[in-house]
């Protein structure tokens, strides 16, 4: 019952979020007014800036840094750079945290004086065929001005890109645009975003669209088409054979408009990229669109973001995907898809061999849908990328949910997928996977070998080996395999642990590699000891100790390693300790630093000084128990002075037991907290 109440509460929160994010239906006339107000404000702002620039040009005293006699460049004689940038598909396995589909065309164009002057120069240049781009975005042009520009384009033979976003068009402009479509043979890119085209405009350009043979890109974002305008536009596009990219976002075409689109695609076989995001499309509209997916073989990209498609519509699309092999990109982000629809969709994605990118961001995810999508990706073997992220207000997936995913797939299948592509498991928390399989020696070895074969020194397998070696008993057979891999990759490990003078902080990769090295050394394997002594590994580690005196996690791990070497009965540990204390010069430098630090206030043993104090206390204790160590330490001239200073410090810093505060048994040490966070 409690679980049911929690799910019900979560559902209410999701619906509340959707009611906030989903745009509310606005009456047509009111929506037109809002659009015109926004466009008008943009015109006014731009005109004010241009007016100030004109005043400065007419009054040189207002210009502080402008040269007096510099000639005015002829902006229209300079052809702006137009670069065609196709919408890129991210390679399967790539990092997709920040992937956003790119606009298919990038146009760079500079201003040339005020609006009237610029418009006049464009009108004069059109008959001369000097321009390749006519950029009149947001200039506040009225219908007569736009009509005049379009009239000049009818016979023009150089302009390939026309940008009229945010201007006013009416009957004369619509008729001239139709003539341009009928007679101009070079124009291939038209943007009429936030131009009120409506039903009348769509009817006016019908014949031009059906007979045009040059335009490949048509963008009508926010053109107030609604259902009737979509119907008129579809009639004109049915016979068009050149337009490949059609952007109809924010036109309120609704479900009825999707029916007209379905009829359009029954006859049109050239449109490859269709964007109908933010169009109030529901389940009925998604059903019409599923007919397109089923029958059409030319469409490669379909954008349905920011609509109101729920599970029923998702299932209709999913069924259609089973019959389609040409669609490469499908964008369903910011709809109302839930578990039922997601599971059906995931099943279709696994069988569909054409899709490469599916964007499901900002939908409602639960554990069942997460498992289904992950399964689809793994079945496609790296050829499918599914994008998703948590919506606003959603609860992050719990560790129990992650464990359910791991239990569903099993460690072996996850490792096999990881071996083929490390980025194939965005849903599965690899740290939990590694923790789950830490008792499985065979899979663990495979994972570690993969990490080194990939050449990246990947941190997660290092965490895995740390976990394994911490929980293992003194089983020499199982440890031997890990030690063998360690020795085979010792050169790479030494390179990772090599101090860099430019490093200001100890990077996570170095810290994890050192933790792994410490655990391997603590196995007391003789072969490891010999290999380490022949390498620069110990010198690198001691250099890191002095380079990062404020990294308490590293210092704690270092002290743990020294403590093991001091008290282990193994000859391997004694050999390593002898190298550290006699041959490397580490012990002499440590004593020198300690005595210089101890001259300052030592009333509290914290940080670097506290760790040195602990090392020497352990060293003194080991010397009292092992005559071999006592001889080594007494060979140092500063040893008596060190012992004396150590006794003085301990007398000051050790607090009587009856004065100590009670211990908090629930509080974890810094190292334990670190281990919990990374393992």
**Number of domains observed in the structure of the chain:** 1
pLDDT at 593: 78
Q: Is residue 322, in this structure, part of any structural domain at all?
A: no
pLDDT at 657: 45
Query: Using an 8 Å Cβ cutoff, are 237 and 268 in contact?
Result: yes
pLDDT at 81: 42
CA dihedral in degrees (332, 338, 343, 347; nearest 10)? -10
pLDDT at 154: 94
DSSP state of 75: G
Q: Is residue 585, in this structure, part of any structural domain at all?
A: yes
pLDDT at 425: 52
Which residue(s) pair with 133 in the sheet?
161
Low-confidence ranges of the chain (pLDDT < 70): 1-114, 389-403, 405-406, 411-412, 414-480, 597-608, 652-679
Q: Is residue 576, in this structure, part of any structural domain at all?
A: yes
Give the chain's count of helices (H) and strands (E). Answer: 30, 12
pLDDT at 670: 35
pLDDT at 440: 47
pLDDT digits (tens, 9 = 90+) for 235-260: 999 999 999 999 999 999 999 999 99
Handedness of CA 102, 107, 112, 115 (dihedral sign): negative
Q: Which residues contact 567 (CB under 8 A, 6 or more apart)?
A: 618, 622, 625
pLDDT at 387: 81
SS3 83: strand
Q: Is residue 275, in this structure, part of any structural domain at all?
A: no
Q: Is residue 188, in this structure, part of any structural domain at all?
A: no
pLDDT at 188: 95
Alpha helix locations (H) across 586-655? 586-598, 607-625, 627-634, 639-653
Domain that holds residue 581: 473-655+668-678
Q: Is residue 124, in this structure, part of any structural domain at all?
A: no
Q: Is residue 591, in this structure, part of any structural domain at all?
A: yes
Nearest Cα neighbor of 82 from 111, 113, 114, 104 is: 104
pTM above 0.75, yes or no: no
Q: Is residue 398, in this structure, part of any structural domain at all?
A: no
Q: What are phi and psi of 84, to 5 degrees?
A: -85, 120
pLDDT at 377: 82
Tokens of 166: 């945010």
């Amino acid at each position: 019952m409690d679980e049911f109440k929690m799910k019900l509460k979560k559902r209410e929160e999701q619906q509340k979020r959707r009611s906030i994010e989903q745009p509310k239906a606005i009456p047509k006339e009111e929506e037109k007014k809002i659009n015109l107000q926004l466009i008008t404000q943009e015109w006014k702002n731009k005109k004010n800036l241009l007016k100030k620039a004109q005043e400065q040009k007419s009054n040189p005293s207002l210009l502080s840094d402008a040269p007096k006699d510099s000639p005015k460049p002829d902006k229209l004689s300079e052809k702006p750079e137009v670069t065609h940038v196709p919408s890129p598909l991210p390679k399967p396995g790539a990092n997709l945290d920040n992937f956003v589909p790119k606009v298919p065309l990038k146009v760079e164009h500079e201003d040339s004086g005020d609006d009237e002057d610029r418009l006049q120069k464009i009108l004069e240049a059109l008959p001369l065929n000097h321009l390749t781009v006519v950029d009149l975005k947001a200039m506040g042009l009225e219908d007569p001005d736009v009509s005049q520009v379009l009239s000049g384009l009818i016979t023009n033979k150089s302009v390939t890109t026309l940008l009229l976003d945010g201007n006013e068009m009416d009957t004369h402009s619509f008729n001239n645009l139709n003539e341009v479509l009928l007679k101009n043979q070079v124009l291939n890119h038209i943007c009429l975003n936030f131009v009120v085209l409506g039903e009348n405009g769509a009817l006016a350009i019908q014949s031009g669209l059906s007979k045009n043979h040059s335009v490949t890109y048509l963008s009508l974002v926010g053109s107030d088409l609604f259902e009737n305008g979509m119907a008129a536009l579809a009639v004109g596009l049915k016979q068009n054979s050149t337009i490949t990219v059609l952007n109809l976002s924010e036109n309120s075409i609704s479900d009825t408009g999707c029916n007209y689109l379905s009829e359009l695609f029954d006859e049109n076989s050239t449109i490859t990229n269709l964007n109908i995001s933010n169009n109030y499309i529901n389940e009925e509209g998604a059903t019409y669109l599923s007919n397109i997916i089923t029958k059409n073989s030319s469409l490669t990209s379909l954008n349905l973001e920011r609509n109101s498609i729920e599970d029923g519509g998702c299932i209709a699309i999913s069924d259609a995907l089973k019959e389609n092999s040409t669609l490469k990109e499908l964008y369903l982000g910011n709809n109302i898809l839930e578990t039922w629809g997601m599971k059906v969709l995931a099943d279709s994605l696994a069988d569909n061999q054409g899709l490469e990118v599916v964007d499901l961001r900002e939908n409602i995810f639960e554990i069942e849908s997460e498992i289904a999508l992950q399964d689809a990706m793994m079945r496609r073997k790296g050829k499918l990328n599914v994008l998703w992220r948590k919506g606003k207000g959603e609860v992050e997936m719990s560790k129990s949910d992650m464990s359910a995913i791991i239990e569903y797939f099993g460690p072996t299948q996850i490792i096999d997928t990881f071996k083929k592509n490390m980025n194939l498991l965005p849903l599965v928390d690899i740290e939990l996977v590694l923790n789950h399989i830490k008792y499985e020696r065979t899979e663990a070895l495979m994972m570690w070998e993969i990490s080194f074969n990939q050449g990246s020194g990947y941190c997660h397998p290092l965490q895995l080996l740390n976990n394994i070696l911490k929980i293992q008993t003194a089983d020499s057979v199982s440890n031997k395999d890990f030690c063998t891999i360690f020795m085979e990759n010792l050169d790479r490990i030494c390179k990772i642990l090599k101090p860099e003078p430019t490093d200001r902080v100890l990077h996570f990769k170095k810290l994890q590699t050192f933790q792994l090295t410490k655990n391997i050394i603590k196995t007391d394997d003789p072969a490891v000891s010999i290999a380490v002594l022949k390498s620069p590994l110990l010198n690198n580690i001691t250099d890191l100790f002095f380079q990062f005196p404020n990294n308490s996690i590293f210092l704690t791990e270092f002290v743990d390693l020294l403590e093991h070497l001091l008290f282990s009965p193994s000859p391997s540990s004694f050999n390593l300790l002898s190298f550290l204390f006699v041959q490397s010069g580490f012990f002499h430098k440590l004593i020198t630093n300690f005595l210089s630090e101890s001259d300052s206030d030592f009333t509290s043993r914290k940080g670097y000084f506290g760790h040195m104090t602990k090392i020497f206390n352990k060293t003194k204790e080991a010397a009292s128990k092992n005559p071999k160590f006592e001889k080594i330490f007494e060979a140092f001239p500063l040893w008596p002075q060190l012992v004396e200073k150590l006794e003085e410090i301990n007398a000051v810093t050790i607090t009587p037991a009856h004065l100590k505060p009670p211990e908090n048994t629930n509080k974890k040490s810094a190292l334990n907290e670190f281990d919990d966070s990374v393992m």
